[in-house]
Amino acid sequence: MTIEENTKHIMMKVDAAKAVSPYPNQEVTVLAVTKYVDANLAREVVESGISNIAENRVELFLDKYRKLKDFDITWHLIGNLQRRKVKEVINLVDYFHALDSLKLAQEIEKRAEHKIKCFLEVNISGEESKHGFSIRALDQILLEFAQFSKIEIVGLMTMAPFEADEKECAQIFHDLKALQMKISEMKIPNVSCTELSMGMSRDYQVAIQEGATFVRIGHEFFRGIA
Ligand SMILES: *Cc1c(COP(=O)(O)O)cnc(C)c1O
């Protein structure tokens, strides 16, 4: 297996899932999550044609960002961000996928030098151990996001519980899609909410069939390699 072969295989599976989804013309952006590998292997992913790179931790993000700065990459921070680390990283990020509190939004608003595209992380399954807004919490504070001129809420993000089977994943993704459409129709300033970041190596085909527009794929890029 090479990274190039893995990339081809992934793109075929993305196309196959799109074709049988209710949204065959939907654009789906494939993010390569490079947290398991060094910058050399991440570069191979970029050279295989993937231009969206994602990291879940600030240190790993900064390392890849510095080593790959000569490439034309769209950068995604997908993991939870501590407030004290916002200033180190936020202005390097094209998309932040794990906005999970108003306090974090306030810190981003303070530190951002341009408008940052953010996803609200939603904990659809209500698991206590998980990060993200519950549906009810989101309902109560959603209007507050209108006040942040440096944040565009481009969409919603979720992670299905580790132990969820395919059917449960599909239901979670389905519920997130419904919530995204509902919020989008509210026309809240700075909350366009047209996108859905959902699906990882094990469940991205299911996610695409439920309307994902960004899928976050790690392991599958490095199958047989790392
Ligand atoms: C690691 C990670 C992924 C990718 O997971 P894989 O199972 O390796 O595809 C996706 N999203 C987040 C938030 C992650 O931390």
Overall average pLDDT of the 159-187 stretch? 95
| 1: pLDDT strictly greater than 90 | no
Task: Tell whether the model's pLDDT for residue 202 goes beyond 80.
Answer: yes
pTM of the model as a whole:
0.97
Q: Express each pLDDT in 133-166 by its tens digit.
A: 999 999 999 999 999 999 999 999 999 988 899 9
Ligand 1 pocket residue status of 106, Cβ below 6 Å? no
Domains of the chain: 3-222 (3.20.20.10)
For residue 128, is pLDDT > 80? no
Is the C-beta atom of 132 inside 6 A of ligand 1?
Answer: no
Which atom of ligand 1 is nearest to 220's Cα?
Answer: 9
Ligand 1 centroid from CA 189, angstroms: 30
Q: What's the confidence (pLDDT) of residue 162?
A: 87
Residue 18: closest CA among 10, 27, 9: 27
pLDDT at position 60: 96
CA of 200 to the centre of ligand 1 (A): 6
CA of 170 to the centre of ligand 1 (A): 17
Calculate the average pLDDT of the chain.
Answer: 96
**C-alpha to C-alpha distance for 102 and 85, rounded to whole angstroms:** 16
Which DSSP category does 159 fall into? -
Scan for tokens 């989101």, then name that residue. Answer: 138
Opening angle at CA 95, ends 27 and 88, nearest 5: 165
State which H helix or E strand residue 103 sits in: helix 102-111
Look at residue 129 in the predicted model and tell me its pLDDT. Answer: 67
What confidence tens digit (pLDDT) does each residue in 38-97 have? 999 999 999 999 999 999 999 999 999 999 999 999 999 999 999 999 999 999 999 999
Contact 201, 218 (CB under 8 A): yes
Ligand 1 centre and the CA of 221: distance in Å? 11
Structural contact between residues 109 and 151, judged by C-beta atoms closer than 8 angstroms: yes
CB atoms within 10 A of CB 39: 15
CB 78 within 8 A of CB 100: no
**Residues contacting residue 189 through CB under 8 Å, at least 6 positions apart:** 146
pLDDT surpasses 80 at 177: yes
- Please name the residue whose Cα sits nearest to atom 8 of ligand 1: 218
Q: Ligand 1 pocket: which of 56, 96, 225 to mutate (most atoms <8 Å of CB)? A: 56
Is residue 114 scored above 80 in pLDDT?
yes
Ligand 1 close to Cβ of residue 217 (< 6 A): yes
Question: Which atom of ligand 1 approaches the CA of 97 most closely?
Answer: 13
**Calpha distance 129→57 (Å, rounded):** 18
* Proportion of the chain above pLDDT 90, given as a percent: 93
The answer, yes or no, to whether any atom of ligand 1 lies below 6 A from the CB of 200, is: yes
Contact present, 56 and 32 (Cβ < 8 Å)? no
Cα–Cα distance list, 11 to 18, 48, 53, 80, 150 (Å): 10, 11, 15, 27, 33
